[in-house]
Structure 1
Amino acid sequence: MKKQWLLAGMLLLSSFCMAQKKPNIVFILADDLGAGDLGCYGQQKIKTPNIDKMAKQGMRFTSFYCGTSVCAPSRSSLLTGQHTGHTYVRGNKEIQPEGQEPLADSVQTLAQLLKEAGYATGAFGKWGLGMVGTTGAPDRKGFDKFFGYNCQRQSHRYYPTHLWNNDQKVILEGNGLEHKNKYAPELIQQQALAFIDEHKDQPFFLFIPTVLPHAELAGPNDAFYKMYENAFEEKPHKGMDYGPNANLAGYQSVEKPRATFAGMVSRMDAQVGEVLARLEKYGLLDNTIVIFTSDNGPHREGGADPVFFNSAAGLRGFKRDLYEGGIRTSFIVQWKGKVKAGTTSNFAGAFWDVLPTLTQAAGAPAARYTDGISFLPTLLGKGVQKQHDYLYWEFHEDGGRQAVRAGKWKALRHKLKTDPNGPVELYDLSKDPAEKHNVAAAHPSIVKEMEKRMREAHVESPVFPLVKAEK
């Protein structure tokens, strides 16, 4: 009898421990991928079966937004839980000879909060938030392990001279601006999968900010390229070839840019499938939150053709725009047994919501400050989901831009650095999601309210000024 009671007690304790087990978190961030580049968001020409399967087995969001419409500030918004009126990095500010403006030492990140909660943390791909040895280096911002491109300028080339393993430079023999030998995305993927192998028996946060499918358009002449090699009518793109006159920032010439781009997207999709398969191998899928999204809208560099592929899913704008096509992104969450399969949500959320959501799900400490709200009630289908009063974005290049979404209304202002009180465009997204009809003249009171929100959301930064300084 005593043995039976002991066995029952052990089973009860085991069940309790299982119930209390922290979920693993895998966050996959594509680079310059339009929502319309995925089959589950309407893509007809490019095959993305693994990400489409994620959508079928989880929740697909239809009104989710990036941090802003370019790389570094969007990632800063994601990791700090703050919109671009508050987050530290608000633009692509380059540091020579390598790296970008680093996150300040005082900045708190999602990885730091999860690490404090006992998570092993790893990032594999593109960083762009602080060079090795600075306050913004991955190991100073909560990541136990980093492998990939520290500098986003370096990631313009898929056959780089080196990558970084934490603070150690990894020389890629045979690579350079004249030669191609080792394809960086494959090397980075191997390290990401190895991180799962190493940490399968403890809670982990795996951040995969892949460089695919950012320009340049490049990849091995393998099955992914051959899938599309003769699929489209092509016009060669003349760029800067690998050779004596090449430079780091340029993009190579591409004979078949559409086929190359499509192959890069399908390669990225296959890598998502490999991550899911590795989780399944270890029986981790039932206790892992897997999220897929992109850092901003589709790019037009290096021969990319987002119009041909309808990469912005019929919305206006591309990368660097604050129109919907530049900032509305794919966002898919798979969490077996928790998130109902095959569901769709129109929750209007943004990157700064990710931090409070994941720290709540993980039982991690709350951030000292966040502009975000947890959308865990939406994911679990339980409780009352709080809504944003409004969402706000800044863009610091091309003269400066601001945008606000409040309910069905979307307002934009351009050329902030020379005309901070310039005209505001207004769109009714419920009737005009493609932002074709500026209705500002018909709704002056709405315009006034949106201008007020722009003023209150923006806190001027000495590092990334948005408005022209007063004399």
Structure 2
Amino acid sequence: MKFKTMPLYRIVSLSLFCFFTPRVEAQQKPNIIYILADDLGYGDLSCYGQEKISTPNIDLLAGQGMQFMQHYAGAPVCAPSRSSLMSGQHTGHTSIRGNATEKGMDEGQVPMSGNTITIAELLKQAGYKTAVFGKWGLGYIGSEGDANNQGFDEFFGYNCQAVAHRYYPTHLWHNRDKIMLQGNDWKHTVTYAADVIHDKALQFIDDNKTNPFFMYYSSILPHAELIVPDDAVFQAERAKFGDETPYLGKKKGEGKDYGDNLIVKEYTTQKYPHATFAAMVKRLDQHVGEIMSKLKELGIEKNTVILFSSDNGPHNEGGADPEFFNSNSFLKGIKRDVYEGGIRVPMIVKWPAKVKAGSKTEHVSAFWDVMPTLAEIAQVKTPMQSDGISFLPALIGKNQKQHDFLYWEFHEKNSSQAVRFGQWKGIRQNSTDLKNAPIELYDLSADVAEEKNIANNHPDIVAKIAKIMNDSHIENERFQFDYEIKKH
């Protein structure tokens, strides 16, 4: 197996962070926890308007910190969104732009480029212990995209997104060791993986309470499949929602259920889809609450930054019902759409004594801004590869620099591009002739639901957006549109 050799410029650039950055005592540097939910919609939290599911712990996090009302994921699906987060680059630049499984591999996705400088590598250079718990999905075990090759001292969870469709897998990974889960054999559902991962994350906090640490808590909740332990939380939701229409799969008999005919990448059937989804969101909320309690118990709450977000908009797979829960709130679209509902996500930041409790901001930000923000907090230099702007000034009430534009590209559903340009949102779709496809234009200041396409009224704005779309896309041999975008 061959991998790319790390280029000299990357070795030098990483060493410079350590060499030229003034030393700061370890205890002065805050711990950083980034919690990423999976397919949680903008409207799935009660602090963002959810009425059918209560999320008291995440609401408390928001009450003790700042809510971002215009924060965007890196992409409308998992892998490119997470690549954008880790690399500090939008999807026109980051190396992973789709959910592609590596050819010839039973488990694992196309690897993130070994040339990528990740958040974990930056914080490791700043003296942080780094770990990821949950879903990785950016390179199969042993590849250049393996979490251990991308700056993480410890990884525990799912390497592969397809396996992460299942909450009762046969195994998880601890670094490069396969950890078998008791009682799980693709027929029996004994050990709930999300709980095992959560316990390992709490142990990491315990083990590193005296050292600065960065924990990327990449939860699989509430992604499909819809399944949860039959506990008091589920029974409460079951009683609340009453009788339901079962989810039987897209086609009956496709082997989705646990048993002899199971297909790992598919989803189980579910008798109580609404109650189960609600219980999964509640379980995520409970996990967040336990992380907060652990920090308080150890006396490190005041010196810990917590960020909470979601990797994309709400899904409608495996029996999930975003329309019933109003999961995308007042926004148009869901997962796999570049409309607001597919990419605008909740984001909360708590940092005691630094971030005003109970505050909200309309600052327009995106996943690629997380890298420069955490770099500034840790007092290391942001690499030139990043497309982001630190939102630390917004957090602490200082003058905040704004983006000239935000850009997305998506390589599924006939391919699409989107640009947020001030109040304007432009969308171009249709892979058969994307470079000549019409651009939809929406004024988000008056039409956040993207209901009225006003492109014909503003040809000058459309032309600017077209140029941004064309200039922001750098060709990627792994993820290509069906054409060569014409440069203006």
Indicate the TM-score class for this superposition, using the shorter chain for normalisation. Answer: over 0.9
2:26–2:211: 8 Å Cα contact kept in structure 1? no
Name the SS for the 2:436 alignment partner: coil
Gap change, CA 1:23 and 1:369, over 3 Å in 2: same
**Do the aligned residues in 2 keep the contact of 1:46 with 1:266 (CA within 8 Å)?**
yes
Pair 119,18 (structure 1): closer, same or farther in 2 beyond 3 Å? closer
Q: By how many angstroms is 1:173 displaced? A: 3.1
SS in 2 for 1:125: strand
Query: Could you tell me how far apart the structure 2 residues matched to 1:102 and 1:376 are?
Result: 30
Deviation by residue 1:310-366 (Cα, 9 ceiling, x = unmatched): 000121000000000000000000000000001000000000000000010111232
Q: Which residue of 2 aligns with 1:292?
A: 308
* 1: CA distance, partners of 2:325 / 2:155: 33
Gaps of 5+ in 2: 1-22, 250-255
The C-alpha deviation readout for 1:424-460, integer Å capped at 9, x for no partner, is 1000101100001111111111111110110111111
Match of 1:71 in 2: 78
Letter in 2 for 1:434: A
Measured after TM superposition, the shift of residue 140 of structure 1 is 0.4
CA distance in 2 between partners of 1:396 and 1:177 (Å)? 32
TM superposition shift of 1:212: 0.3
Q: Is 1:98 aligned to 2:107, yes or no?
A: yes
- The code of the aligned residue for 1:162 comes to H
CA distance in 1 between counterparts of 2:24 and 2:363 reads 32
TM-score, normalization by structure 2: 0.91
Report if aligned partners of 2:101, 2:110 keep a CA contact under 8 Å in 1. yes
Equivalent position SS for 2:94: coil
Could you tell me which of 411, 420, 424 is aligned with 1:405?
420
User: Offset of 1:19 from its aligned partner?
Assistant: 10
Alignment pair present for 1:237 and 2:253: no
* Helix, strand or coil at the partner of 1:393: strand
Q: Distance in 1 between matches of 2:56 and 2:182?
A: 34
Indicate how the Cα distance of structure 1 residues 166 and 425 shifts in structure 2: closer, same or farther if over 3 A, else same: same
Q: Which residue number in structure 2 is paired with residue 430 of structure 1? A: 445
Aligned match for 1:336, one of 332, 352, 355:
352
| SS of equivalent residue, structure 1 residue 341 | coil
Query: What does 1:213-292 correspond to in 2, within 5 Å?
Result: 213-232=222-241, 234-239=244-249, 240-292=256-308
Q: State the percentage of identical aligned residues.
A: 54
Which 5+ residue runs of structure 1 have no aligned equivalent? 1-15
Q: Which residue of 2 aligns with 1:447?
A: 462
**1:9 corresponds to:** none
Q: Is the 8 A contact 2:27 2:212 kept in 1?
A: no
The residue identity in structure 2 corresponding to 1:83 is H
Matched, 1:392 2:392: no
Aligned residue pairs, count = 455
Q: In terms of mean alpha carbon deviation, does 232-241 or 431-440 score higher?
A: 232-241
1:308 and 2:324 are equivalent in the alignment: yes
Residue of structure 2 equivalent to 1:456 = 471
**Residue 165 of structure 1 aligns with which residue?**
174
Letter in 1 for 2:179: V
Secondary structure of residue in 1 paired with 2:239:
coil
Q: Could you tell me how far apart the structure 2 residues matched to 1:116 and 1:312 are?
A: 38
CA distance in 2 between partners of 1:419 and 1:375 (Å) = 33
Query: What is the DSSP-based 3-state SS (H/G/I as helix, E as strand, rest coil) of the residue aligned with 1:344?
Result: strand
How far has the Cα of 1:172 moved from its partner?
1.4
* Aligned counterparts, 1:90-239, within 5 A: 90-95=97-102, 96-232=105-241, 234-239=244-249
Q: Measure, in 2, the Cα distance between the counterparts of 1:419 and 1:106.
A: 29
Distance 2:224 2:24 in 1: 46
Structure 1 stretches of at least 4 aligned residues deviating more than 4 Å after TM superposition: 16-20
Kept after mapping to 1: 8 A contact 2:416/2:434:
no
**Which residue pairs with 2:378 in the alignment?**
362
Q: 1:178 Cα shift?
A: 1.5
TM-score by length of 1: 0.94
C-alpha distance in structure 2 between counterparts of 1:194 and 1:19, whole Å: 20
The residue that corresponds to 2:49 in the other structure is 42
| C-alpha RMSD of matched pairs (Å) | 1.5
Q: What is the DSSP-based 3-state SS (H/G/I as helix, E as strand, rest coil) of the residue aligned with 1:226?
A: helix
CA contact (8 A) 1:287 1:335 kept: yes
CA contact (8 A) 1:124 1:192 kept: yes
Distance, in Å, in 1 between the alignment partners of 2:384 and 2:170 is: 39
Q: What do residues 386-414 of structure 1 show as CA deviations (whole Å, max 9, x unaligned)?
A: 00000000111112100000111000011
Q: Residues 420 and 467 of structure 1 are in contact (CA less than 8 Å); yes or no, is this contact kept in structure 2?
A: no
How far apart, CA to CA, are the structure 1 residues paired with 2:370 and 2:244?
Answer: 39
Check conservation: 1:116, 1:365, Cα contact below 8 A: no
Give the distance between the partners of 1:274 and 1:79, measured in 2 at CA.
Answer: 25
Q: Which amino acid aligns with 1:278?
A: K
1:19 and 1:78 mapped to 2: Cα distance? Answer: 25
| Structure 2 partner of 1:8 | none
